[in-house]
Amino acid sequence: MNRIRWDRVGRVALLCVLVAIVGLYVGPARSYWTARGESARKSAEVARLEHEHARLTARRKALTTPATLAAEARKLGYVMPGEKAYVIEDLPKG
């Protein structure tokens, strides 16, 4: 007659419980690591946007001075009243 070895049954049951507990922790752990990665990406994007905001704020402040406005207008091809504009074509490159 086969006897039931209760010590082995207990070990197998404990092993099943341990596997079940580990299985319950896998989902939340994966979510945690995904959230950490997303948080790092968002933090990098926020830093980049803050840098761009500072650059644009400085540019806006610079564009309020008359000298900067005149320089930007000249880049666009505008001339001051009384000046003559000349266009020189076919210049050698370099």
Give domain limits for the chain. 6-75
Distance CA 42, CA 48 (A): 10
Distance CA 5, CA 14 (A): 15
Q: What is the mean pLDDT of residues 20-39?
A: 93
Q: What is the DSSP letter of 86?
A: -
Q: What is the pTM of this model?
A: 0.54
pLDDT the model gives residue 3: 79
Distance CA 43, CA 26 (A): 26
- Single-letter amino acid code for the residue at 52: E
pLDDT digits (tens, 9 = 90+) for 52-74: 999 999 999 998 999 999 999 98
pLDDT the model gives residue 1: 61
**Mean pLDDT score of the chain:** 91
Contact 28, 34 (CB under 8 A): no
